[in-house]
Structure 1
Amino acid sequence: MPRRQAIQPVVDETPQPELFLNRELSALEFNFRVLAQARDPAMPLLERLRYLSIVASNLDEFFEVRVAMLKQRHQFGSAAPGPDGMASGDLLSRIRERVLDLTCAQYATWQDELGPALAAENIHFLTRKQWTARQRRWLQGYFENEVLPVLSPLGLDPAHPFPRILNKTLNIAVVLQGRDAFGHEGHMALVRAPRSLPRIIRIPDEVSGPGDHVVFLAELLQAFVDMMFPGFKVVGAYQFRVTRNSELIVEEEVDNLARALTEELVGRGYARPVRLEIGNDCPQSIVSMLINNFELEETDVYRCDGPVNIIRLGLIYDDLDRPNLKFPRFTPAMPAAFGTGKKRMFDIVSQRDVLLHHPYESFNAVVDLLREAVQDPDVLAIKQTLYRAGKDTPLVDLLVEAARNGKDVTVVIELRARFDEEANIRLAERLQEAGVQVVYGVVGFKTHAKMMLIVRRENGHLRRYLHLSTGNYHQSNSRLYTDIGLMTAHPEIGEDLHKVFQQLSGLGPTINLKQLLHSPFTLYKSVVAKIEREAAHARAGKPARIVAKLNALNEAHVIEALYAAAQAGVEIDLIVRGACTLRPGLPGVSERIRVRSIVGRFLEHSRVYWFKNDGEPEVYCASADWMERNLIRRIEVAFPILDPVLARRVYDETLANYLADNTQAWLLDSEGHYTRATPDELPPHSAQETLLASLCGASLTKPSAS
């Protein structure tokens, strides 16, 4: 599929910078909203700890991708300002200011709020100063038997230069005094913590008594560092962690995408550093030495008032059996359309479309549909995309079984799904060994669409059964992310999907679709056209409204179309989880546009576009956000909800329900600031809790008792 065939936005004028917020700064603001969950005493305590870990994880990826790319472009003078017009140097300074604020708030939350609250629940993260003599003896034994044999401390001298430090690993910089057995003066050494070692160690109850007593590996290494350097005096030991550029670049002209990507993966862990995290107690002389070795600047250093790998706090969540400190469990419901499960799924879907709303409704329905296809002798072919599949999905086993059963199975695997590249290469190899035809997508365009096509012979004719989704075929994520899926046997949608798969596997020409909106071809221009249609309705005095639910919004010309529609009289409500560069509430520009973000128990992931269309509403669910990359540089699909009952359900559950949220919603103002919504005079309403109650019969007002 040559790049020249893709639709590119037609731009008449340069965007006006004053009309846009900055993308990177807006993305950072999302993490402050997540951190607010960690600081919310109404949240279950271990969930608060998990939110704190999520902030750290998000910040890692922000540096690995966004900051790394920005720094690289700034260094080579190729960082053209975005629609907001902010120069790269100014943006890097602003990013540092906000990250310093976020880092300070993170560690204050840990030290002042979560640590003491956990201790009150008899969950103790012990520092060296808090160890009892008995605990210290046990930890020393653990260190000698389980940790020390795995370590390879490295003294730094002309024969032992500064080593390569792997991305995001825990390290200890050690200052020494004395001479070694060869008469060499000791000055500096490094201790790298292998990834095989657990980052959090639990002390047995027989040592510490009832309760949970845990120690960070970093504390252990610092406490017993002298045992690694016998004959030397340890003057100091300081934690540090380096974050590196993790964006993979694969040239478009390659003979074998999988091989090229595999070669790139080898060096990713040692790519150019972009951030140095180091303990607050580290002297400047050590910081300067590390800066020089990593070729960083002082502005790349972030001091940590606690463990540098605070992300590891999340590890304790699954390890602790404390249900009273977690969200109550719930059981996803099977969609009502499938009834008691006695009828075949093909029989049901042949008669009516079926909507799936995850995580409230079970992902098992998708697994069951594929299993039925695998076992059905009338099924001839199965085609599916896989972007992120996860380790525990049964779908892969079923695809392998289908191929071995003689069915024609084609799987489009996106090898470049960020941070899942290695897993996807292994997945592709496994499927190929089973006889599955594996397609690696299209060079230059990530295949982000989520779709499954099953071809079945019925009464002498072929019929297509489809599953389309806003989310990945990922079993674990289906319980943590909100997504919309559609099962249908609609002939036109089936024909459209057949053409999309044919294009992906055969690299065919541009295709004409009847129902699906297809990026990078028709999705962008269709979204803009539908926005402009609402504006025309408003100017004609007809009902006009747009409601959209997205993960992110930054495509400048879509935003300009929304501004123009608002000025024409269209009322616009946007539910944008993360980065949003549109400025709502600007006088004369966006007074009719309102933007909110929902941050709750589940990660908001479904994308829904709703257009009033003069009283004949159109609703699309999609794998695509209104971002440049989704609309222009990816293979995406937006699918219509044609059944009026299901379309109304999508509107009620994913749009109206979220617009009524006054407990987990954050409202964006024109300056880029978010304010948490409050019930005021209205009854409290949580969109997610409402759906848990209505679809699962779960009540989540309070955590369950232990």
Structure 2
Amino acid sequence: MSKQLSAYLNRDLSWIEFNRRVLQEAQDSTNPLLERAKFLAIVTSNLDEFMSVRVAGIHEQIRAGLTKMDFTGYSPSGLWKRLQKRTKDIVHDQYRTYRDIVKCMNKEGIFIRNMADLNSTQQKLVEDYFYDIVFPVLTPMAVDQSRPFPHVHTKELYLAVSLRLENQVNQDEPLFAIIQVPSILPRFVTIPGRGNSKKQEFILLEDLLKSYIHTLFNGYTPFAVSTFRLTRNADLTLDEEGAEDLLEEIEKELRRRKWGVAVRLEIEHDIEPFALEMLKDELEINDGLFMIDGPLDLSFLMKFSNSIPGRDQLRNEKFEPEYAKEFEDADNIMSVIAQRDVLLYHPYESFEPVNEFVWQAAQDPEVLAIKMTMYRVNGHSSLVKALEYAAAEGKQVTVVVELKARFDEERNIAWAKQLEKAGCHVVYGLVGLKIHAKILLVVRREQHGLKRYVHVGTGNYNENTAKTYTDIGLMTSNDTIGTDASALFNEVTGYSVPRNWEAFAVAPSGMKQKLIRLIDREIENAHAGKEAKIIAKMNSLSNQEMINKLYEASIAGVKIELIIRGVCCLKPEVPGLSENIKVISIVDRYLEHSRIVYFFNDGAEEVYLSSADWMTRNLEKRVELLCPVFDNELKNTLIVLLNMSLGDNTKARQLKMTGQYEAVNREHEVPFRSQYVAQRVDKWKGTQYPVT
């Protein structure tokens, strides 16, 4: 199928459009200025991961000589060319936006200076900082016949220096050296103010180094200095089947990651030609060159925006999550969820009840066992400390630590060793599968026998991201869910064949099949002339089989509304194929991360929470969880939340069949921003009708 006739959008090109929506938030003048700068930093961080994983993978396919087209109609080489153009376009727009934001900062009295802009007093203070703090850390590395080109670390900032001997103007070929800009030091240096001025002034570390570069090369003249930054392939290639010790194998692979193939080289746009050729030759890169007109690696803007004192008027209003009202008057979390199910919606509601749940279980003499999955956990985790305490108290504590969580491998290895040392049973996941399900089980001895308490979530057990990601957590003592939870841990930690689940659907053995059956039921109802409707909220949709099933449902007359933050390979609104499908994406202050699926079911509505996006990796290569919400009040609350997202006419963008996103056009409607409404927990929790 040609690209022009393809029924699908390409996953990687769709991701570029997602990052463009993030960039649009940096360009949106209605956002506070320092928040706009943070969105620019997120664009950079997103591109870094995209280049080091997705683009690197396509690069490897080309190196291996693969020419087969994917189901969206792209060969590796064709996609590579398109991605290079699209990413360069977005980087160009990113730096144009950076310059606009810098101008706005200047108007507010915030300046990122060059050395030439400083007065003599400031220059002296900055010079002292260089000699006292920076100079002792620097290591210039010459490149010549006796000193080969040094290893360049991925995503670190370097200076490329072209030199000649002093007083030797007609030297045949320049000399060359590189210097790593020390990442252990702050990227930006605060400059003392000018007299009584209220201006806040800063200089970037690399610009400071350039000003004093001559101090590192006695007897030589540096005549050109430019920054550069390399991105390497960061994907792990594990031989899980042949590994005797998975933890040891991952540790080896992490060391190899530092030597991954170069996939992108960012360089200053006015780099000296000899230095450019040296870098291209030594790093063996030609196609992935990005000429940057501005400071490389704008991710520094995140810390920069957070560190400027005062300036609250240039930031979002501070927001404190509410403590769930269901637990306000209770001494014990389990005593509440023994009586009723409770739904937590982060970050609008605090993550603290989850921490308290585990701590109370750890201290309760009647609790016999605690089991949980761990995918991405923050440093200094309260949950980890609670698990260690529980193990010390003699409880059976089992933690399934996913060592293969990308870019969190080292942290998870450290957690695994720490938990084992504390006496916990640690399971390192399964061969060939990542364990991405988010579930926590507490087994307690009570008057009438053992009782199970369960927390099922759409996001990680991470206190930090629970403040910035939108995620749902269900706390329940439902017997059916508890039985399935025990069976799930038995399947992961021991030898158990996939079971006939009573409540759950679990990938890779049955979740996709369950979702297809639920969609088929809506199709049957549509064929029977009944109302049929599906609403699904997730991060990404790229599995071809699921897309085809949604197309089939659309053709049958099922109304489908999708809220997909990131990648979407489905083409909506195509006549005769997907005209009953609407797709929106919301990019706002918080990262939309919750996965919720709704089926009308002829009026007997069903709602599910899930850890899984509808991607092939989630449905076929991971242990994922789909959990029904049985409580009618909570079910209604989730429907309200879905309707809130669908009603967003401020931050929502609607996907067109071209693959482009457009602002939702509702000129005559009252502005409705779903994330701002969600901050008013009383507006949606326990309500009976959609919030408008």
Alignment TM class, shorter chain as reference: over 0.9
Alpha carbons 1:179, 1:185 under 8 Å: kept: no
Letter in 2 for 1:328: E
Q: 1:372 aligns with which of 357, 360, 363?
A: 360
Q: Distance in 1 between matches of 2:221 and 2:682?
A: 64
1:116 partnered with 2:108? no
Alpha carbons 1:360, 1:695 under 8 Å: kept: no
Q: Distance in 1 between matches of 2:502 and 2:362?
A: 29
Tell me which residue corresponds to 2:150: 163
Q: 1:132 aligns with which of 102, 119, 123?
A: 119
- What are the superposed Cα offsets for residues 187-241 of structure 1, whole Å, 9 maximum, x if unpaired? 1111112322221111234789433211111111111111111211111000000
Letter in 2 for 1:279: E
Q: 2:321 aligns with which of 332, 335, 340?
A: 332
- What are the superposed Cα offsets for residues 40-78 of structure 1, whole Å, 9 maximum, x if unpaired? 111011110100000000000000000000100111023
Change (3 A) 1:538 1:443: same
- What are the superposed Cα offsets for residues 490-516 of structure 1, whole Å, 9 maximum, x if unpaired? 111101010110111114222221101
Tell me which residue corresponds to 2:230: 242
Q: Distance in 2 between matches of 1:37 and 1:592?
A: 29
- What are the superposed Cα offsets for residues 159-205 of structure 1, whole Å, 9 maximum, x if unpaired? 1111100000110000101069xx99961111112322221111234
Alpha carbons 2:397, 2:425 under 8 Å: kept: yes
Q: 2:346 aligns with which of 342, 354, 358?
A: 358
Tell me which residue corresponds to 1:146: 133
Q: Distance in 2 between matches of 1:208 and 1:235?
A: 37
User: Offset of 1:593 from its aligned partner?
Assistant: 0.4
Q: Distance in 1 between matches of 2:367 and 2:106?
A: 57
Q: List alignment gaps of at least 5 residues for structure 1.
A: 1-12, 698-706
Q: List alignment gaps of at least 5 residues for structure 2.
A: 685-692
Q: Distance in 2 between matches of 1:293 and 1:204?
A: 41
Q: Which moved more, 1:304-313 or 1:417-426?
A: 304-313
State the percentage of identical aligned residues: 39
Q: Distance in 1 between matches of 2:118 and 2:164?
A: 27
Higher-RCO chain (CA-CA 8 Å, sequence separation at least 6): 1
Q: Distance in 2 between matches of 1:80 and 1:381?
A: 50
Q: Distance in 1 between matches of 2:257 and 2:581?
A: 42
Q: 2:676 aligns with which of 679, 684, 689?
A: 689
1:290 partnered with 2:297? no
Counting only pairs closer than 5 Å after superposition, residues 571-586 of structure 1 correspond to structure 2 as: 571-586=559-574
Q: Distance in 2 between matches of 1:372 and 1:224?
A: 57
Tell me which residue corresponds to 2:663: 676
Counting only pairs closer than 5 Å after superposition, residues 56-455 of structure 1 correspond to structure 2 as: 56-78=44-66, 80-111=68-99, 113-178=100-165, 187-205=175-193, 209-253=197-241, 254-297=243-286, 299-321=287-309, 322-340=311-329, 342-455=330-443
User: Offset of 1:326 from its aligned partner?
Assistant: 1.1
For the aligned residue pairs, the C-alpha RMSD in angstroms reads: 2.0
Alpha carbons 1:176, 1:188 under 8 Å: kept: yes
Alpha carbons 1:16, 1:84 under 8 Å: kept: no
Change (3 A) 1:696 1:375: farther
Q: Which moved more, 1:585-594 or 1:502-511?
A: 502-511
Q: Distance in 1 between matches of 2:32 and 2:365?
A: 49
Q: Secondary structure at the match of 1:416?
A: coil
Tell me which residue corresponds to 1:555: 543
- What are the superposed Cα offsets for residues 617-662 of structure 1, whole Å, 9 maximum, x if unpaired? 1110100001100000000001111111100100111x11011000
- What are the superposed Cα offsets for residues 526-562 of structure 1, whole Å, 9 maximum, x if unpaired? 1111112111110111110110001000000100000
Tell me which residue corresponds to 2:648: 661
Change (3 A) 1:696 1:368: farther
Tell me which residue corresponds to 1:644: 632
Q: Which moved more, 1:346-355 or 1:205-214?
A: 205-214
Q: Secondary structure at the match of 2:662?
A: strand
Q: Which moved more, 1:537-546 or 1:282-291?
A: 282-291
User: Offset of 1:431 from its aligned partner?
Assistant: 0.4
Where does structure 1 differ by over 4 angstroms across 4 or more consecutive aligned residues? 13-17, 183-186, 206-209
Q: Secondary structure at the match of 2:338?
A: helix
Letter in 2 for 1:306: G
Letter in 2 for 1:147: V
Q: Distance in 1 between matches of 2:504 and 2:594?
A: 17
1:466 partnered with 2:462? no
Q: Distance in 2 between matches of 1:226 and 1:505?
A: 60
Alpha carbons 2:66, 2:76 under 8 Å: kept: no
Q: Distance in 1 between matches of 2:196 and 2:165?
A: 36
- What are the superposed Cα offsets for residues 407-433 of structure 1, whole Å, 9 maximum, x if unpaired? 110000001111000000000010000
TM-score (normalised: structure 2): 0.96
1:526 partnered with 2:524? no
Q: Which moved more, 1:367-376 or 1:687-696?
A: 687-696
Q: Distance in 1 between matches of 2:108 and 2:34?
A: 10
Q: Secondary structure at the match of 1:609?
A: strand
Q: Distance in 2 between matches of 1:421 and 1:685?
A: 40
Change (3 A) 1:687 1:679: same
Letter in 1 for 2:154: N
Tell me which residue corresponds to 1:9: none
Q: Which moved more, 1:78-87 or 1:421-430?
A: 78-87
Letter in 2 for 1:18: S
Q: Distance in 1 between matches of 2:172 and 2:146?
A: 11
User: Offset of 1:135 from its aligned partner?
Assistant: 2.2
Alpha carbons 1:15, 1:556 under 8 Å: kept: no
Alpha carbons 2:677, 2:683 under 8 Å: kept: no
Q: Which moved more, 1:190-199 or 1:148-157?
A: 190-199
Alpha carbons 2:67, 2:77 under 8 Å: kept: no
- What are the superposed Cα offsets for residues 419-463 of structure 1, whole Å, 9 maximum, x if unpaired? 000000000010000000000011211000000000000005100
Q: Which moved more, 1:120-129 or 1:258-267?
A: 120-129
Change (3 A) 1:60 1:477: same
User: Offset of 1:325 from its aligned partner?
Assistant: 1.3
Alpha carbons 1:22, 1:84 under 8 Å: kept: yes
Letter in 1 for 2:209: L
Change (3 A) 1:627 1:149: same
Q: Secondary structure at the match of 1:452?
A: strand
Q: Secondary structure at the match of 2:516?
A: helix
Q: Distance in 2 between matches of 1:591 and 1:433?
A: 57
Q: Distance in 1 between matches of 2:529 and 2:402?
A: 46
User: Offset of 1:339 from its aligned partner?
Assistant: 3.2
Q: Distance in 1 between matches of 2:25 and 2:630?
A: 37
Q: Secondary structure at the match of 1:509?
A: coil
Alpha carbons 1:172, 1:237 under 8 Å: kept: yes
Change (3 A) 1:696 1:162: farther
Change (3 A) 1:15 1:504: farther
Q: Distance in 1 between matches of 2:683 and 2:122?
A: 45
Q: Distance in 2 between matches of 1:351 and 1:389?
A: 29
Letter in 2 for 1:520: P
Q: Which moved more, 1:72-81 or 1:511-520?
A: 72-81
Change (3 A) 1:14 1:471: farther
Q: Distance in 2 between matches of 1:89 and 1:101?
A: 19
